Amino acid sequence: MAELRRVAIVGSARTPFARGHTAYADETNLSLLATALGGLADKFGLKGEKIDEVMAGAVIGHSRDFNLAREATLDAGFSPRTPGTNTQIACGTSLQAALVLGAKIATGEIESGIAAGSDTVSDAPVVFGNKFQHRMIELSKARSAGEKFGAFKGFSFGELRPVAPSTQEPRTGLSMGEHCELMARNWGISRQAQDELAVASHRNAAKAYDEGFHDDLLVSCAGLVRDNNVRADTNIEKMASLKPAFDKSSGLGTLTAANSTPLTDGASAVLLASEDWARARGLPVLAYLTMGRVAGNDFAHGEGLLMAPTIAVSELLARAGIGFDDIDYFELHEAFAAQVLCTLKAWNDPAYCKDVLGRDAVMGVIDPAKINVKGSSLAYGHPFAATGARILGLTAKLLSTEPGKRALISVCTAGGMGVAALVESPL
- Answer for the pair 254, 184: CB distance below 8 angstroms, yes or no: yes
Q: Are strands 18-19 and 264-274 parallel, antiparallel or unpaired?
A: antiparallel
Q: Is 353 a catalytic residue?
A: no
User: Measured between alpha carbons, how far is 188 from 181 in angstroms, rounded to an integer?
Assistant: 10
3-state class (DSSP) for residue 409? strand
Give CA torsion, residues 377, 378, 380, 383, to 10 deg. 60
Catalytic residue among 91, 180, 342, 353: 91
Task: Name the active-site residue from 179, 214, 333, 382.
Answer: 382
Residue 62 zone, left/alpha/beta (φ > 0; ψ -120 to 50; rest): beta
Is 180 labeled as catalytic in the residue annotation? no
- Which residue in 180, 342, 353, 412 is the catalytic one? 412
24 touches 222 (CB < 8 A) = yes
Rounded CA gap, 148 and 337, in Å? 53
Residue 335: C-alpha distances to residues 174, 340, 342, 418 (Å): 16, 8, 12, 12
B/e letters for 268-280, b = 16+ CB within 10 Å, e = fewer, are: bbbbbbbbebbee
Residues 6 or more apart whose Cβ sits within 8 Å of residue 72: 30, 33, 34, 37, 54, 56, 84, 116, 118
d(CA 330, CA 423): 10
Q: Is 412 a catalytic residue?
A: yes
Active-site residue list:
91, 382, 412
